[in-house]
Homo-oligomer: A and B are copies of this chain.
Amino acid sequence: MHRFPDYLLKGHANFMAGRYTREKDRYRDLASIGQSPQTMIIACCDSRAAPEMIFDSTPGELFVLRNVANLVPTYQPDGGQHGTSAGIEFAVKALGIANIVVMGHGRCGGIKAALSPDSSPLDSGDFIGKWMKMLGGLPEQIGHNELMTPGERQTALERISIRNSIANLRTFPYVADLEAEGKLAVHGAWFDISTGELWIMDSETGDFLRPDL
């Protein structure tokens, strides 16, 4: 028998006294009417990159899927249990969201493991190793570029991976169709933990740029 972590209970008491008290009506409505978020965020599990913090969002605003390194697989209707694909399907087909944002971030542990599988505390044969295989040969192609610093290679792969996930997203027929009809927009973003800045992917060029705030 063990107790629930005390600091989480205190955090929840703060929530009740703070945000919940202020937004009680909104929570009640969200419960009775249901959610209708406009945007799905596909983000990383990293504790430093919570989308609701980064976008200062209110309850009901963001449908958020988080996996290691914010990866999106290709469309594989093979009967397997694809959690990320299930989330995308639910967001697009059941909720009718208008935007999908693939949001990566700096100093991502999953990307780092993909770049340097040998120095990772994880075996490449483990789940992480197999999960990061979703990137195919991308880590090797950038990892062997000795002209870039390790930090540059890491940032480069973080951004390459976002573009790769967006390409994979478009292999989902309903994503491609709705995007073609102008009913769904797909975006990329990259969060800099150190500076707090969000870099937005230019949908034409694929470049990541800081917006004018």
Interface residues in chain A, defined as those with a beta carbon under 8 Å from any beta carbon in chain B: 1-2, 4-5, 7-9, 11-16, 18-20, 24, 27-28, 30-32, 34-35, 37-40, 45-48, 50, 52-57, 59-68, 71, 73, 77, 79-91, 93-95, 99, 101, 106-107, 109-110, 113, 120-122, 126-128, 130-134, 138, 141-142, 145, 147-152, 156, 159-160, 185, 187, 189, 192-198, 200, 203-207, 210-211, 213
Chain A binding surface SS class: mixed
Please indicate the chain B residues that have their CB under 8 angstroms from the CB of A47 in the complex: 35, 37, 59-64
Total copies of the chain: 4
B147→A138 contact, CB < 8 A: yes
- Residue of A28, A81, A197 contacting most chain B CB atoms (<10 Å): A81
A130→B82 contact, CB < 8 A: yes
Contact partner of A81 among B31, B131, B207, CB < 8 A?
B131
Bound form: Cα–Cα A156–B39 in Å: 29
Bound form: Cα–Cα A83–B130 in Å: 9
A130→B57 contact, CB < 8 A: no
